[in-house]
């Protein structure tokens, strides 16, 4: 028989520990127990005493009630990572915990709000992704642009384009140059989620990452990310990434427009086009290569020329500053929380109770300003009479709406 807090969930301790990048022995030293005690807590073989739970909450900087709330009842799998194989397991686990909480946040909001249904066409591509051709990838991107009404014009906001077809997007500031983005599905929520790392990243790079993750969703339905520990898995991963790259380039700068506007590929001309199309100079070099406008020697020469100009590397290209090309920001989750608060359906205190994460974690996931969820007045929850209320996004026409509960 175990003693201690009866409704403690060891899975929550694992989430909090991994989110802070701590090994069991490090956490054990912080609260004065053995690593085996932490193992037994996480396995639900023992329950911490109230005093020990308080120490865990304090050292991990989590509310104590986080550990007494059941975890989201769905396993995290089929994650497409746009990252290098050298990324540490610990760093990846830190991000995975945010993915789990992102589902919880969305589930909470969806219980009160209606979001756009996921609206992506099925292009009936080969089930074996190795059989997908470059021509099919170009065709999918062109068809999607037509369906979204962009034709041959630039996509002004790539993140908003994803959100308007029902794909929640989160931007995270992950201090790692080996994590660019991720895509993962949730069967329970019937959605896929996209994450973009904006740490030392330009707006053009973030747009490309968003289009890249969309490429996985469009091209690789039903495909499981390969095991990169095997040679075959590494080769499959490279092919999946190459296909998503080709899709991102085709979506951001369609073939017909590129062939019309780029008469002769040059760095200076690409620089002149960058702000209009929201695409990096490096990506346009690759785009011209993909479309057969330059050969591999010319591509290498252009890349060497970029190095000579010191245009390669984080935030080194022209117009990479946020002042010149502002970073695109997600709206869906942020405006969902704001709509609930504005209509008086919840208070900030009730959000913190329903989602007992550190407020800063909720703010980061929802794209809210730090300190937004602080509640100085401590007002009680005020519920409106059930009625249909729409929250209209003036920029896109529609992002969220309250359901009619009559």
Tokens describing residue 170: 């989160």
For residue 380, pLDDT beyond 60: no
Using pLDDT thresholds of 50, 70 and 90, give the confidence band for residue 400: very low
Q: What is the pLDDT of residue 56?
A: 98
For residue 375, pLDDT beyond 80: no
Query: Across all residues in the chain, what is the average pLDDT?
Result: 89
Rounded to the nearest 5°, which phi and psi values hold at 164?
-70, -15
Interacting residues of 311 by C-beta distance below 8 A, sequence separation 6+ = 267, 281, 282, 317, 318
What number is the average pLDDT over the span 68-90? Answer: 81
For residue 277, pLDDT beyond 80: yes
Using pLDDT thresholds of 50, 70 and 90, give the confidence band for residue 81: confident
CA distances from 128 to 40, 132, 220, 224, 380 (A): 43, 8, 9, 11, 55
DSSP string, 228-289: TTSHHHHHHHHHHHHHHHHHHHHHHS-HHHHHHH-SS--HHHHHHHHHHHT--HHHHHHHHH
For residue 312, pLDDT beyond 80: yes
Return the minimum-mean-pLDDT range out of 167-181, 260-274, 309-323, 335-349: 167-181
pLDDT in tens, 239-254: 999 999 999 999 999 9
pLDDT in tens, 100-144: 999 999 999 999 999 988 889 989 999 999 999 999 999 999 999
DSSP string, 7-75: T--HHHHHHHHHHTT--HHHHHHHHT--HHHHHHHHTTSS---HHHHHHHHHHHT--GGGGGSPPPSS-
Q: What is the pLDDT of residue 395?
A: 45
Q: Give the separation between CA 112 and CA 215, rounded to whole angstroms.
A: 30
Using pLDDT thresholds of 50, 70 and 90, give the confidence band for residue 348: very high
For residue 192, pLDDT beyond 50: yes
Q: What is the pLDDT of residue 88?
A: 74
Q: Is 180 helix (H, G, I), strand (E, B) or coil?
A: strand
Q: Give the separation between CA 78 and CA 183, rounded to whole angstroms.
A: 8
Q: Give the separation between CA 128 and CA 142, rounded to whole angstroms.
A: 22
The dihedral sign for the CA sequence 20, 21, 25, 30: negative
Using pLDDT thresholds of 50, 70 and 90, give the confidence band for residue 2: low
For residue 403, pLDDT beyond 50: no
For residue 229, pLDDT beyond 90: no
Decide the pairing of beta strands 390-391 and 191-197: unpaired
Q: What is the pLDDT of residue 96?
A: 92
What number is the average pLDDT over the span 309-324? Answer: 96
Residues forming a β-bridge with 400? 391
Q: Provide the residue ranges of all domains of the chain, joining segments of one domain with +.
A: 10-68, 80-308, 332-401
Q: Give the separation between CA 137 and CA 248, rounded to whole angstroms.
A: 10
Residues above pLDDT 70, as percent of the chain: 90
What number is the average pLDDT over the span 220-230? Answer: 83
Q: What is the pLDDT of residue 215?
A: 96
pLDDT in tens, 31-64: 999 999 999 999 999 999 999 999 999 999 999 9
pTM: 0.87
Identify the CATH assignment for 10-68 out of 2.40.30.160, 1.10.260.40, 1.10.760.10, 3.40.640.10.
1.10.260.40
Residues above pLDDT 90, as percent of the chain: 77
């Amino acid at each position: 028989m175990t003693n201690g807090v009866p409704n403690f969930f060891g899975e929550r301790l694992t989430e909090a520990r991994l989110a802070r990048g701590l090994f069991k022995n490090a956490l054990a030293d912080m609260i004065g127990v053995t690593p085996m005690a932490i193992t037994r807590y996480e396995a639900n073989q023992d329950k911490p005493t109230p005093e020990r739970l308080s120490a865990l909450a304090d050292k991990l900087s989590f509310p104590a009630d986080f550990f007494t709330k059941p975890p989201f009842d769905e396993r995290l799998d089929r994650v497409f990572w746009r990252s290098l194989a050298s990324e540490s397991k610990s760093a990846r686990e830190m991000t995975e915990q945010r993915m789990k909480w992102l589902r919880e946040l969305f589930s909470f909001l969806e219980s009160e709000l209606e979001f756009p249904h996921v609206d992506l066409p099925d292009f009936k591509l080969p089930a074996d992704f190795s059989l997908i051709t470059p021509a099919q990838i170009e065709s999918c991107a062109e068809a999607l642009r037509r369906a979204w009404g962009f034709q041959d014009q630039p996509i002004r906001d790539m993140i908003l384009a994803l959100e308007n077809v029902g794909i929640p997007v989160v931007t995270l500031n992950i201090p790692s140059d080996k994590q660019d983005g991720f895509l993962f599905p949730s069967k329970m929520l019937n959605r896929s989620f996209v994450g973009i790392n904006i740490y030392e990243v330009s707006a053009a790079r973030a747009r490309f990452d968003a289009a890249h993750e969309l490429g996985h969703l469009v091209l690789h339905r039903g495909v499981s990310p390969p095991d990169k520990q095997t040679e075959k898995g590494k080769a499959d991963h490279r092919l999946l990434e190459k296909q998503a790259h080709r899709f991102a380039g085709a979506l951001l700068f369609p073939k017909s427009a590129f062939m019309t506007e780029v008469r002769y590929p040059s760095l200076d001309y690409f620089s002149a086009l960058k702000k209009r199309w929201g695409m990096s100079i490096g990506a346009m070099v690759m785009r011209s290569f993909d479309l057969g406008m330059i050969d591999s020697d010319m591509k290498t020469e252009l890349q060497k020329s970029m190095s000579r100009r010191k245009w390669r590397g984080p935030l080194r290209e022209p117009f990479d500053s946020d002042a010149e090309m502002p970073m695109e920001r997600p709206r869906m989750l942020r405006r969902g929380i704001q709509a609930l608060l504005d209509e008086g359906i919840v208070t900030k205190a009730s959000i913190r109770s329903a989602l007992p994460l550190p407020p800063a974690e909720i703010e980061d996931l929802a794209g809210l300003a730090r300190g937004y969820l602080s509640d100085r007045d401590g007002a009680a929850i005020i519920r409106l009479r059930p009625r249909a209320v729409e929250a209209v996004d003036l920029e896109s026409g529609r992002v969220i709406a309250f359901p009619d509960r009559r």
